[in-house]
C-alpha cells in the first residue's frame, strides 16, 4: 500500500500542470511534453546549476507551443520577456530543455547586470573581433558576407537570415571551431553572452575561458563579486 501511495503521488506530480522551481517560481505546463519526459529532473538540474540569486527577476516559466517561436527567419525554442521564461514543449531530450532554460536565464541576467557586462565595451570588442575573423573566412569561401551587418553588434534579422539560410549552420559549425561556441552566438552580442553563460554553467569553463576570455571573465566576475559580498555580509553579522 505504501509503495502504491508513493507511486500515485509521483504520477500525480508528473501530470500536474503547475510546479515550482527555486521554491517560489511558478512553472506552468501549457502543453504536454513528450511521453516519459521528466520535467522534475529538468527543474532540479537547473536549480543545482544556476544560483537562485542570479535569476531573482524571473517570476515564472511557461512551457508549451507559442506562435512567436515560428514567426521569424530562424525558428527558436525559448524566449525571456517581462520576467518570464517561455520554453517550447517540443523537446528532444531533458538536456535540450535544460540548455533552453539556462540560455534564457542568461537574458534575465543581462537585465540585472547589463552595466557590469557591457559598460566598458571590452566584450563588444571581443565579439566584433570574432565577427571580423568569420567575415574573412566566409569571404574566402565565396559567400559574400554583408560587411556592414558584421560590424554591428546588435541583432539584425537580415544577418540572421543570411547565416541560417544562405550559409547554413552545418558549414558555420565547422568554420567557428575555437571562435564561437555555436552559430547562434554570432547573431548578436546578446546571444554571444547568453551562449557563453549557458556553456559556463553546463559545459567546459576552461574551453570557454580559452576561446572567449573576456566573456568568461564577465560571468566569473559577477559570480565572484556576489560570493565576496555574501561572505562579507556573513562576517559582519557574526561580529555583532
Q: Contact at 8 Å (CB) between 85 and 58?
A: yes
From 112, 136, 164, the end of a domain falls on: 112
pTM for this entry: 0.86
Whether residues 139 and 104 share a domain: the answer is no
Is 177 contained in some domain? yes
State the average pLDDT for the chain: 88
Whether residues 142 and 176 share a domain: the answer is yes
pLDDT recorded at residue 68: 79
From 112, 141, 160, the end of a domain falls on: 112
Render pLDDT for 12-53 as a digit per residue (tens, 0 to 9): 455 579 999 999 999 999 999 999 999 999 999 999 999 999
| Angstrom distance (rounded) from CA 38 to CA 124 | 38
| Angstrom distance (rounded) from CA 188 to CA 157 | 10
The DSSP secondary structure of 172-187, one letter per residue, reads: HHHHSTTT-SSGGGGS
- What is the DSSP code (8-state) at residue 16? -
pLDDT recorded at residue 89: 95
Whether residues 63 and 167 share a domain: the answer is no
**Domain count across the chain:** 2
Whether residues 107 and 142 share a domain: the answer is no
Tell me the pLDDT band of 171, cut-offs 50, 70 and 90.
Answer: very high
Phi, psi dihedrals of residue 32, rounded to the nearest 5°: -65, 140
Q: Contact at 8 Å (CB) between 139 and 147?
A: no
Q: Which of 186, 191, 176 is nearest to 128 (CA)?
A: 186
Tell me the pLDDT band of 229, cut-offs 50, 70 and 90.
Answer: confident
Q: Contact at 8 Å (CB) between 183 and 173?
A: yes
Of 12-26, 47-61, 158-172, the range with the lowest mean pLDDT is 12-26
pLDDT recorded at residue 62: 97
Query: What is the domain range of residue 186?
Result: 122-236
From 84, 112, 140, the end of a domain falls on: 112
Whether residues 134 and 227 share a domain: the answer is yes
Contacts 24+ apart (CB under 8 A), 24-29: 25/58, 25/59, 25/60, 25/61, 26/59, 26/60, 26/61, 27/60, 27/61, 27/63, 28/60, 28/61, 28/62, 28/63, 29/63, 29/64, 29/89
Interior angle at CA 117, CA 95 and CA 50, nearest 5: 30
Q: In the chain, where does DSSP find H-type helix?
A: 2-15, 39-49, 94-118, 122-140, 147-150, 157-161, 169-175, 189-202, 205-211, 213-238
In angstroms, what CA-CA distances link 226 with 37, 111, 141, 219? Answer: 35, 16, 45, 11
Whether residues 128 and 232 share a domain: the answer is yes
Q: Which residues pair with 25 in a beta bridge?
A: 21
Phi, psi dihedrals of residue 148, rounded to the nearest 5°: -65, -35
Render pLDDT for 63-104 as a digit per residue (tens, 0 to 9): 999 887 776 666 678 999 999 999 999 999 999 999 999 999
Amino acid at each position: 500500500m505504501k509503495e502504491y501511495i508513493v507511486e500515485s503521488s509521483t504520477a500525480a506530480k508528473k501530470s500536474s500542470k503547475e510546479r515550482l522551481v527555486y521554491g517560489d517560481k511558478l512553472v506552468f505546463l501549457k502543453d504536454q511534453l513528450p511521453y516519459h519526459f521528466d520535467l522534475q529532473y529538468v527543474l532540479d538540474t537547473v536549480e543545482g546549476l544556476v544560483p537562485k540569486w542570479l535569476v531573482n527577476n524571473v517570476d515564472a516559466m511557461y512551457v508549451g507551443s507559442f506562435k512567436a517561436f515560428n514567426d521569424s527567419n530562424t525558428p527558436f525554442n525559448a524566449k525571456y520577456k517581462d520576467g518570464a521564461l517561455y520554453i517550447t514543449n517540443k523537446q528532444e531530450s531533458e538536456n535540450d530543455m535544460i540548455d533552453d532554460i539556462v540560455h534564457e536565464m542568461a537574458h534575465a541576467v543581462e537585465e540585472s547586470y547589463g552595466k557590469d557586462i557591457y559598460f566598458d565595451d571590452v566584450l563588444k570588442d571581443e565579439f566584433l573581433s570574432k565577427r571580423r575573423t568569420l567575415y574573412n573566412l566566409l569571404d574566402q569561401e565565396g559567400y559574400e558576407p554583408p560587411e556592414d551587418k558584421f560590424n554591428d553588434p546588435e541583432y539584425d534579422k537580415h544577418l540572421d537570415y543570411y547565416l541560417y539560410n544562405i550559409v547554413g549552420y552545418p558549414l558555420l559549425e565547422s568554420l567557428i571551431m575555437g571562435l564561437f561556441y555555436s552559430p547562434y552566438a554570432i547573431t548578436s552580442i546578446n546571444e554571444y553572452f547568453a551562449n557563453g553563460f549557458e556553456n559556463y554553467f553546463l559545459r567546459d569553463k576552461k574551453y570557454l575561458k580559452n576561446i572567449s576570455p573576456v566573456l568568461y571573465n564577465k560571468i566569473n566576475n559577477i559570480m565572484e563579486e556576489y560570493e565576496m559580498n555574501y561572505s562579507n555580509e556573513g562576517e559582519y553579522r557574526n561580529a555583532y
